[in-house]
Amino acid sequence: MIKTKLKFKLQFKQLGYQSSLFFVILFFCCSAYSQHNNKFSYTFSEALIQHYQPNISSLTNKNWSNNNSVILQALARVHLQNNNQKYINYIQRYIDSQLDAQANIIGLSPSLDSIHPGILLLFLYEQSGNANYLYAAKQLRNFLLGDGEQAPAIGKTSNGIYWHKNVDKYKNVVSLSGTFMAYPFLLRYGLITNDSVAINTATQQVRLVSEKTFSPVKKLPWHGWNASKDKVWADPETGLASQHWSRATGWYAMALVDILEILPPSHPDYPTLKHYFIQLAAGLMQYQDSHTGMWFHVLDQVNTQGNYPEFAGTGLIVTALRKGQRIGILGRKAKMVAEKGWLAMQSYITKSKDGLFKVTSVAPGMGIQKDFSAYIAIRPTEIPVQSGKQHFHGYMSLLLAAAEMEMY
């Protein structure tokens, strides 16, 4: 009888322990779920997918376009944190709508911007193993580099840098944004397929652009470079643009950090690209507005009348600085600066009754301008707008920054 009572007490204690453990686990699971649902990256992703069906083209009215792919690349980064198949399906619906039955890309134009959706092809290939996506990615590789049967679709300057677009307006024009639109894709493709030409071209192009555009004095890159020095905005002596534009600099920062994340440190270009990124980070931290925490439309003229805090550029810079610290290239100061910038961004985000987010103080898309006055003459807008062009940059930068800043 005593043994039976003792056995019962032990079982009861074990049951009590198990019950307590169950409730502890349940508490933490519910807490984690609540925290997950309260994240900008989650709530915005859910709202985006709900509102823009059947795919992201219903927001932008674009087909094969970086307007779509930069938002979806950010969504892919959110997926990698929470493993939500819904996000993969949404990305896949867009990509599949842009491929024909033989997995050929529909509507490819001769521009570095047109290379960017390839990053989604590689994402889907890695997620699914479907060789059609890698086949389509190879088309972009050959479109840019050429192969035995076709020449490269985009021209180059005399020193070997790709023009931004293969049209007269961009002949001999190098724009910073091209570094992000083309070369992280090309590098990742090369690493997946063991294509040394793709790998070396990607790093070489970013190195050459850096050598031409980066100011060691300001520790910022100029918006672009005109090799023939015949564009209205080009300095007659150097061919450089006159201003440091925030969003172009943000694209460049993202190109560097995304490349450094996956490029083997043994690669000959790694030390040079790392040097440029560290110098750039120092410049960016210097030009953050101390009052708002934002970066301004023209980076180094914060206090000049007419300049304004620019949401999209800020989001890219926040993401690049935080990621640079996360992967061990930048120090703790970069994290603190990024956190201040991320907090500042939230002052420009509101949520409507239907759950959709509105982002303000977004500079419209623009090419290289003649001077400071021309840059600030282009006033900020918001997304979404009731009619007309939707400025996708606002959503892209919100989602990229949220995915990076909410990773921990």
Report the range of poorest mean pLDDT among 59-63, 339-343, 371-375, 385-389: 385-389
237: left (phi over 0), alpha (psi -120 to 50) or beta: alpha
Considering only residues 70 and 25, tell me which one the structure prediction assigns the higher pLDDT.
70
Average pLDDT over residues 63-82: 96
Report the percent of the chain where pLDDT is more than 70: 91
User: What's residue 278's pLDDT?
Assistant: 99
Cβ neighbors of 236 (< 8 A, separation 6 or more) are: 229
How does residue 38 score in pLDDT terms, banded at 50, 70 and 90? confident
Q: Any idea how long the chain is? A: 408
**CA gap 202, 138 in Å, rounded:** 15
Backbone angles phi, psi at 201, to 5 degrees: -65, -40
| Lowest-pLDDT range of 39-43, 63-67, 153-157 | 39-43
Q: Over the stretch 200-247, which tens digit does the pLDDT of each residue have?
A: 999 999 999 999 999 999 999 999 999 999 999 999 999 999 999 999
Residue from 189, 168, 54 nearest 119 by CA: 189
How many Å is the maximal CA-CA distance in the chain? 102
Measured distance CA(228)–CA(158) in Å, rounded: 9
Q: In the predicted model, is pLDDT for residue 291 greater than 70?
A: yes
Distance between CA atoms of residues 45 and 150, nearest Å: 40
Least confident of 10-19, 80-89, 91-100: 10-19
- Conformation bin of residue 348: beta by default, left when phi > 0, alpha when psi is -120 to 50: alpha
Q: In the predicted model, is pLDDT for residue 391 greater than 80?
A: yes
Compute the C-alpha angle 267/268/274, nearest 5°. Answer: 85
Please write the tens of the pLDDT for every residue from 308-351.
Answer: 999 999 999 999 999 999 999 999 999 999 999 999 999 999 98
pLDDT at residue 36, as a whole number: 57
> Cβ neighbours of residue 113 under 8 Å, at least 6 residues apart?
65, 66, 164, 165, 177, 178, 181
| pTM as predicted | 0.91
Q: Provide the pLDDT for residue 37.
A: 63
The pLDDT of residue 5: 41
Question: CA–CA separation, 308 vs 298, rounded Å?
Answer: 8
- Which amino acid makes up residue 387? S
Average pLDDT of the chain is 92
Q: Is pLDDT at 9 greater than 80 in this prediction?
A: no
- Distance between the two ends of the chain, CA-based, in angstroms? 54
Pick the closest to residue 376 from 363, 385, 393 (CA basis): 363
Identify the H or E element spanning 383: strand 381-383
Task: Assess whether pLDDT exceeds 80 at residue 408.
Answer: no
Q: Which fold has domain 54-405?
A: Glycosyltransferase (1.50.10)
Q: How far is CA 204 from CA 122, 163, 179, 197, 253, in A?
A: 21, 14, 11, 10, 16
